[in-house]
Structure 1
Amino acid sequence: MRDRYPFLISIPHAGVSVPPEVRGLVNLSREEVVFNSDPHTRLIYGFDGAVEALVDFDISRVFVDTNRAPYDYPPRAQDGVVKVITQDGTPVFRRGQIPGREVIGLLLENYYHPFHGRLARALDTRPIRIAFDCHSMLPRSPPVRMDAGHPRPLFCLSNRGDRNGRPRAAGALVTCPPEWLQALARSFQAEFDGEGRVAMNDPFRGGFISVAHHRRTRIPWVQVEINRGFYETEGREADVAHLTKLRERIFSALTGFWDEVSG
């Protein structure tokens, strides 16, 4: 039994805090901020002590989305590094109060770049062999997406490839070898056999975090999404004991995969 697995765990959307730079501008209730974040993912993916590095983030993705490019902000984008609307189309900020370049610059300087700096330092100083960018997803596609209302799988594993994990075109980027992604999908499917589908690059193909840090280091990255319907009630509550058991099962899937491909 090894002491630590050579994994980097990134949990960018668990935070629900509102940064002081935008307090007073926000149109959302506390409940809406939490719903539009990735609640419970810090517990679900909290493999502290069993992996080489774990990097999480306290600020809600509504206000600073570290999985978007730093130049992808309003008015150029509504779903960029700073959101203009939520997943159900609710305005994030009060009328006429959308942050301008100066405030967005502060958000990037104070929160966004330090998060990516922590990822980079972990990759550069720890014996990381693979990184997982860990998220949750709504049970069905939200109204703002083109596939609104479409049911989602139990897990989505992404490497920017096709639905078999292979490059979408000759020479196209994938952030993890297809054979590894396929082995990871098999490990998840075995652990959660009969409980739901494990998909590759459907409905998500991976975001900025995976692509940017893979390009720089060539260390493999996989984006992991779990369906919130698997652990949340209709009232959006979750049982801590259930989440703890779920964390153990997800870690079992990750380590089972690694023991297979690194043996």
Structure 2
Amino acid sequence: MNGPYPFLISIPHSGTSVPPELRGLVNLTRKEIVFNSDPYTRRIYGFDDAVEAVVDFDVSRIFVDTNRAPYDYPPRTQDGVVKVITQDGTPVFRKGQTPGRELIGALLKNYYHPFHKRLSEALDTRPIEIAFDCHSMLPQSPPVRMDAGRPRPLFCLSNRGDRNGKPKTAGGLVTCPPEWLQALARSFQAEFEGEGRVAMNDPFRGGFISVAHYRRRRVPWVQVEINRGFYEAEGREAGEAHLAELQGRIFSAVAGFWDEVTG
């Protein structure tokens, strides 16, 4: 097609920085912060010139998770907008230093709400016809989850529906039409034939970002998760050539899907 594709690309977990408000409170090493973020996702999903808008986030998801509801924070939850423990159960903050309501409020004001405002502005001012919330996932479910140790697919595509992309209940919410999600899964499976499984809504069904912004504007949203085992090796950084190739293949799958459903 001529011009950029009418896509909004949200990359909420690519950042690894520590907000200055939290300096001196954090219990984690730099390596632990990077591991518990979504490393390389800005490189993998950064389709900048080929799409209408890309919105990313510099702060690590451990400290401000924009894919969680703003009211989900400690002590209500350990895995909310501000994390208490990492994926392997390590305390995020030094003993007695977990942020309280006032500090969490400052983090929301300074980082969380501006990110969501950028998404809203893109949806309101650009000709966006579908949005993708883009993530990576560990090869196996981490210790803190109920399904700890379960192997994960190569890709997980989510619209809050069932494993066929359909509403889980009659009249239930899905953030993208089932037929579109199925077409996207076929396109990914064709592009990555023989390299792994493409699943729908398993193990993730989509998070706060896709649901909240779909409800506000009714523009379709899909959460995309790639298995980190496909491009990461323990103790070794992903190669630039491999990341560039992977970015091209993922864009080819997404563009192929769009050409199919709008052709």
| TM-score interval (norm. to shorter) | over 0.9
CA offset digits 1:165-187 (Å, max 9, x no partner): 00000011000000000000000
CA–CA distance in structure 1, aligned partners of residues 81 and 262 of structure 2: 35
CA–CA distance in structure 2, aligned partners of residues 67 and 126 of structure 1: 22
3-state SS in 2 of match to 1:199: strand
Give the TM-score of the pair, scaled to structure 1.
Answer: 0.99
Corresponding residue number in structure 2 for 1:245: 245
Instruction: Give the gaps of 5 or more residues in structure 1.
Output: none
Q: Which runs of 4+ in 1 moved over 3 A?
A: none
Tell me how far 1:3 sits from its aligned partner: 1.3
3-state SS in 2 of match to 1:75: coil
Aligned amino acid, residue 179 of structure 1: E
CA offset digits 1:109-155 (Å, max 9, x no partner): 00000000000000000000000000000000000000000000000
Corresponding residue number in structure 2 for 1:226: 226
Corresponding residue number in structure 1 for 2:122: 122
3-state SS in 2 of match to 1:242: helix
Corresponding residue number in structure 2 for 1:131: 131
CA–CA distance in structure 1, aligned partners of residues 257 and 236 of structure 2: 31
3-state SS in 1 of match to 2:48: coil
Corresponding residue number in structure 2 for 1:58: 58
3-state SS in 1 of match to 2:212: helix
3-state SS in 1 of match to 2:42: helix
Corresponding residue number in structure 1 for 2:159: 159
Matched, 1:80 2:70: no
Matched, 1:96 2:92: no
CA–CA distance in structure 2, aligned partners of residues 2 and 219 of structure 1: 22
CA–CA distance in structure 1, aligned partners of residues 2 and 108 of structure 2: 38
3-state SS in 2 of match to 1:224: strand
Aligned amino acid, residue 14 of structure 1: S
Aligned amino acid, residue 169 of structure 1: T
CA–CA distance in structure 2, aligned partners of residues 2 and 224 of structure 1: 25
3-state SS in 2 of match to 1:49: helix
CA–CA distance in structure 1, aligned partners of residues 259 and 90 of structure 2: 44
CA offset digits 1:197-246 (Å, max 9, x no partner): 00000000000000000000000000000000000012152111100100
1:1-263 alignment, distance < 5 Å: 1-263=1-263
CA–CA distance in structure 1, aligned partners of residues 38 and 169 of structure 2: 32
Instruction: Give the gaps of 5 or more residues in structure 2.
Output: none
CA-atom RMSD, angstroms?
Answer: 0.5
CA–CA distance in structure 2, aligned partners of residues 18 and 131 of structure 1: 27
CA offset digits 1:48-100 (Å, max 9, x no partner): 01000000000000000000000000000100000000000000000000000
Percentage identity across paired residues of the two chains? 83
Aligned length: 263
CA–CA distance in structure 1, aligned partners of residues 65 and 2 of structure 2: 34
3-state SS in 1 of match to 2:134: strand
Give the TM-score of the pair, scaled to structure 2.
Answer: 0.99
Aligned amino acid, residue 213 of structure 1: H
CA–CA distance in structure 1, aligned partners of residues 170 and 33 of structure 2: 41
CA–CA distance in structure 2, aligned partners of residues 2 and 192 of structure 1: 26
